[in-house]
Amino acid sequence: MAAVVSQLLDVRDRLAKSAVTALRAQADAIEAHGKYEEAGTGSNHPDILAAVTNIRTAGEKAGKVARLLRESEDYIVKFINTIAPGSATSTPEAMPSGEELVTEAAARERRGSRYHRKATEAAANNAEKIQKAEKATKEIASIMKDRLRPGDTQASVAVPAKPPSAPSQAPKSGHPVADAVLAAAAVSLAVRAITQSVKNRRERKQSDGNKTANN
Question: Where do contacts with another protein occur on this chain (CB under 8 A)?
Answer: 104, 108-116, 118-120, 122-123, 129-130, 132-141, 143-145, 148-149, 159, 161-163, 165-166, 169-170, 172, 175
Report in angstroms how near the CB of residue 12 gets to another protein at its nearest. Answer: 22
Beta-carbon contacts of residue 14 (< 8 Å; ≥ 6 apart): 179, 182, 183, 186
Answer yes or no: are the C-beta atoms of 114 and 38 closer than 8 Å: no
Report in angstroms how near the CB of residue 197 gets to another protein at its nearest: 36
Q: CB nearer to another protein: give 3 or 50.
A: 50
Looking at the Cβ atoms of 35 and 205, the one nearer to another protein is: 35
Q: Residue 12 and residue 2: Cα distance in Å, rounded?
A: 15
Cβ-based nearer residue to another protein, 129 or 202: 129
How near is the Cβ of 193 to another protein at its closest, in Å?
Answer: 30
* CB 152, min distance to another protein, A: 11
Q: How far apart are CA 85 and CA 195, in angstroms?
A: 18
Residues 85 and 1: their CA atoms lie apart, in Å, by 12
Residue type, 81: N
